[in-house]
Amino acid sequence: MRSSLIFLSFLNDADVAWIVQVCRKRNLSPGEVLIERGAVNKDIYLLLEGKCSITAANNLILGEVVSGDLIGEVSYVDERRTNAQVRAQSSVVLAHLSALVLNGKMQADLGFASRFYQGVASVLAFRLRRNLQATFDQKSNLLSSSEEFESEIDSKDLDTTARSGARLDFMLKALIAS
């Protein structure tokens, strides 16, 4: 869930409302693949309910993502083929944000584009820092948003985190109800 909290801290309420409006709900059954390894994926997903596993080319389990986590933002940014597979471990409900729709919004609203990319960049920076730290602690799950790291949240960030949490709660309720 931490990835969406970081991401949402850069968006404003109008941005979040737009995302809720244009996302389409998608359901997966246990074992169903969302993103195939080696595929071209430009869409972004918000995991609303359930759990997905992430595996590398050698079937090494990299970790799992849970409700509130973003999926697909790396492929959206670099437009390369995926190097991991995302598979539903349980019944999954996703909010699907089409790259085509997202690209149109970015071209029409440069402020949104700036906030969106800053949010994605911050998620990726968080993951990079966490993964670098995890190389020294082999017990860490590299993709889990529930993994805690020393000094991860600064007290000055608590207000931002509370706002992001309220936005995520709004998104989850609105998108699951749709």
pLDDT digits (tens, 9 = 90+) for 12-28: 999 999 999 999 999 99
Task: Tell me the whole-structure pTM to 2 decimals.
Answer: 0.79
Name the residue range of residue 6's domain. 2-148+160-177
**Does residue 154 lie in a domain region?**
no
Sign of the CA dihedral with 143 first, then 19, 51, and 25 last: negative
**Does residue 54 lie in a domain region?**
yes
pLDDT tens figures, 148-167: 444 455 555 666 677 777 77
**Does residue 153 lie in a domain region?**
no
Q: How many domains does the chain have?
A: 1
Which amino acid, one-letter code, is at 148?
E
Q: Where are the beta strands (DSSP E) in 4-143?
A: 24-28, 33-35, 44-49, 51-56, 61-66, 70-71, 84-88, 92-97
pLDDT at 147 over 70: no
pLDDT tens figures, 101-142: 999 999 999 999 999 999 999 888 887 887 777 666 655 555
CATH of the domain at 46: 2.60.120.10
